[in-house]
């Protein structure tokens, strides 16, 4: 089992000190953030309040990402609360937040080489686009840890992880429905 330090501390406090998980250290960062840093926050605190503690929402903010640049997800409502898994808030400006135009796959296999799970992200994206869920299951899409390495390394700027997440969710639902 691999655990991050925050989870290990939470388990220690829960088991030995009988303290429930009520707070997390949340990192707020970004090029335009006035006071980037780590903040000890109670679970349930609105994300907007944490951003305010870091100097407020910069005017040039184009995207707010929950988590890091690789595995994080866009936050559409900063009034939503911090959850037990919240670890970071990344504020991207217009230039950083702009998605580059998706080009055709050039079959370089960089996404395959970088995948820590030995998957074929280019293929999983294509299968997801065509909703070929049984084939996605055969190609082990459920093994994807959603690290984002494939999208980050793609020279064609293909949104591999976005499509893989979508296909993985649909495949998971298909598998759960089959077991009923």
Residue 174 lies in a domain: yes
124: containing domain: 110-179
Residue 7 lies in a domain: no
| Chain position carrying tokens 């049984």 | 134
Burial class for 177, CB neighbours closer than 10 Å (0-12, 13-18, 19+) = exposed
Number of compact structural domains in the chain: 2
Domain end (from 97, 119, 143): 97
Whether 156 maps to a domain, the answer reads yes
Half-sphere exposure of 104 (CA within 13 A, CB side): 1
Whether residues 89 and 53 fall in one domain:
yes
Instruction: Quote the pLDDT of residue 166.
Output: 97
**Are 91 and 126 members of one domain?**
no
**Is 3 inside a domain boundary?**
no
Residue 13 lies in a domain: no
pTM (2 decimals)? Answer: 0.76
pLDDT in tens, the chain (180 residues): 767 787 888 899 999 999 999 999 999 999 999 999 999 999 999 999 999 999 999 999 999 999 888 888 899 999 999 998 888 999 999 888 888 899 999 999 999 999 999 999 999 999 999 999 999 999 999 999 999 999 999 999 999 999 999 999 999 999 999 987
Clarify whether residues 119 and 82 are in a common domain: no
Residue 173 has what pLDDT? 96
Give the chain's radius of gyration (CA, Å).
Answer: 19
Q: Domain of 74: which CATH number?
A: 3.10.20.600
Domain match, 26 and 93 both: yes
């Amino acid at each position: 089992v691999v655990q991050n330090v925050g989870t290990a501390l939470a388990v220690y406090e829960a088991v030995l000190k009988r303290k429930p998980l009520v707070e997390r250290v949340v990192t707020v960062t970004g090029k335009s953030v006035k006071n980037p840093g780590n903040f000890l926050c109670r679970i349930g605190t609105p994300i907007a309040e944490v951003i305010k503690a870091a100097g407020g929402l910069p005017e040039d903010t184009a995207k707010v990402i929950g988590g890091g640049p690789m595995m994080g997800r866009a936050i559409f409502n900063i009034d939503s609360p911090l959850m037990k898994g919240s670890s970071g808030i990344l504020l991207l400006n217009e230039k950083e937040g702009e998605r580059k135009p998706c080009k055709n796959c050039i079959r370089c296999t960089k996404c395959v080489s970088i995948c820590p799970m030995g998957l074929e992200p280019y293929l999983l994206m294509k299968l997801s686009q065509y909703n070929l869920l049984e084939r996605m299951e055969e190609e082990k899409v459920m093994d994807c840890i959603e690290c984002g390495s494939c999208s980050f390394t793609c020279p064609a700027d293909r949104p591999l992880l976005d499509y893989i997440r979508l296909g993985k969710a649909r495949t998971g639902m298909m598998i759960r429905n089959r077991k009923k």
